[in-house]
């Protein structure tokens, strides 16, 4: 099985120096990639900028912006059997990126932001016979927001966690199916959660 996995954050630049991003460490996505490799599968890892090394044995594609992630995933998805989308995508970008470095003037600076592309929803439009596992990191009305994402992105299931997972060594996740049922839950170090989650995906989603 050839599995596409996304990991880490994306960045959206305000000028040539400063950017909007998040604190994703990439650990959960990298751990799932390692679990998939250990299970004997071919892994295609699309990763944003992180401070950890990817697992040995995977095909690596480095990206930075959300548009980079979209372009790369759209190109790779047709060659894969499924996708596990763990990347923490930056949801907004400035309407205009300023060339050079914005100088301090002693006055307030205002930026106008628009939403970035919905990468997983785009993959969901071209799902065909492939499977899709999404991740939802939520802080308000988590189940409702996770289910909305599952349906919008045409996922087979969605993995729900909260903001305590960001840059942490451990995670606590809940797997929801399209009917809104909790079908699995895993807690512990991210490496352990990744192994248990990937085994569950093998048994219930991928058909392996």
CA gap 46, 164 in Å, rounded: 23
Q: Which of 42-51, 68-77, 160-169 has the lowest mean pLDDT?
A: 160-169
pLDDT category of residue 138 using cuts at 50, 70 and 90:
confident
**Over the stretch 66-81, which tens digit does the pLDDT of each residue have?**
999 999 999 999 999 9
Question: How many C-beta atoms surround the C-beta of residue 164 within 10 A?
Answer: 12
DSSP states of 66-117 as a string? HHHHHHHHHHHGGGSSEEEE--B---EEESSPPSS-PPP-SS-----EEEPP
Domain ranges of the chain: 2-204
Q: Which of the following is catalytic: 22, 145, 154, 177?
A: 22
- CATH class of residue range 2-204: alpha beta
In the residue annotation, 22 being an active-site residue is answered as yes
Edge to edge, the sheet with strand 2-7 lists 59-62, 42-47, 2-7, 82-85, 131-137, 157-161, 170-176, 182-189
Q: Across residues 17-24, what is the average pLDDT?
A: 94
């Amino acid at each position: 099985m050839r599995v596409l996995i996304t990991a880490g954050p994306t960045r959206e630049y305000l000028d040539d120096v400063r950017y909007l991003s998040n604190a994703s460490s990439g650990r959960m996505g990298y751990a799932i990639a390692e679990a998939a490799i250990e299970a004997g599968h071919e892994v295609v890892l699309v990763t944003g900028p992180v401070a950890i090394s990817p697992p040995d044995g995977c095909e690596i594609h480095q990206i930075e912006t959300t548009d980079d992630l979209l372009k790369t995933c759209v190109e790779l998805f047709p060659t894969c059997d499924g996708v596990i989308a763990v990347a923490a995508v930056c949801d907004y970008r400035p309407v205009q990126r300023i060339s050079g470095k914005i100088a301090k003037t002693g006055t307030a600076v205002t930026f106008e932001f628009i939403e970035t592309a919905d990468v997983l929803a785009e993959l969901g439009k071209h799902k065909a016979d492939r499977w899709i596992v999404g991740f939802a990191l939520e802080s308000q009305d988590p189940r409702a927001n996770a289910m909305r994402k599952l349906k919008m992105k045409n996922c087979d299931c969605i993995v729900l966690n909260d903001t305590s997972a960001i840059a942490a060594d451990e995670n606590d996740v809940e797997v929801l199916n399209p009917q809104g049922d909790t079908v699995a839950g895993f807690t512990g170090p991210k490496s352990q959660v990744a192994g248990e989650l990937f085994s569950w995906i093998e048994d219930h989603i991928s058909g392996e």
